[in-house]
Amino acid sequence: MQVSDLLIFGIDEYQLTFVDSNKKCEMASIEASLKISKILDNILGKSEKKVSYCIGIFTDMAYIGNIGNHSLRCYSVVGPIVSNARKLAIFGHTLDCKVLVDSGTLSPVVISQFVIRPIDRIEMEVFNSKTKQIISVHEVLRENLVNPDEWLYELEQSNSNSQFKVLQNSFVSIFEVETEESNFVEKVREARRIFQRYIDENPSDILVFNRLIYVLNFLLDYSDDSNASLFELLKNYKTALHRSVQTLSHHNCEDVEITYINFKG
């Protein structure tokens, strides 16, 4: 993987551009991010201070090239793709995630080769669209590999990978379903049970799924157990990022605010 450009925007923000004609862009970006994450973990693990980071990956069209003339030019990426990746990094930082990607990055190859878990849904601008779109966000944890050196460790790793796949499928089944289903309320309750079971079994990793359970509890109550209302609420559910994190949905032409967290500074 050859890095062709490094842009430093500030003490905590960098942009790498690399070319690998043998790999799809989403595969190359995730592999690079996991390598950077591993290096940072090794460095920060030796520090007495707690330092957190997050890498955002967003896949979309953009205008890419050099701007300027023969005497002065700079490499630029023009379009919402850069700001969207930045938003993912900021959002992941608040949830203690390390590598966040949008659903457009999750090609079938990516899904098969990496362990992924659901995080949330965010409203973002996309290339050549006049309206913002609600996009699902996921965390890439690691490559989907099972170490065969020790059978007990192999079994634990395989079970862990399968558990995240169940979480992912549950999230998609309620937030990304295209048409209303007659048993939709029960499907949402089942997803909530799966998220709760994960929290019970992993008490040190509760931030993301506690948040999702809170959202599901709120929307189940708000919908009065109506399949149609709950379907509309989940279809329109989103988190808006400003200098705050605002969790919303939409029902009967009105916004429904679920949570609001304001950032200092």
| Per-residue pLDDT tens over the stretch 203-213 | 988 999 999 99
Instruction: List % helix, strand, coil for the chain (3-state, nearest 5).
Output: 40, 30, 30
Exposed e or buried b per residue across 106-120, where buried means at least 16 C-beta atoms within 10 angstroms of its C-beta: beeebeeebbbbbbb
**Chain position carrying tokens 């509309």:** 232
Q: Mark the ranges of the chain whose per-residue pLDDT is less than 70.
A: 1-4, 19-21, 147-153, 243-244, 261-265
Closest CA to 230 of 190, 172, 186, 168: 186
Structure pTM? 0.85
E strand or H helix that includes residue 256: strand 254-262
Q: What is the CATH number of domain 1-144?
A: 3.30.70.1230
| Per-residue pLDDT tens over the stretch 26-52 | 998 999 899 999 999 998 887 777 778
- Where along the chain do its domains lie? 1-144, 146-265
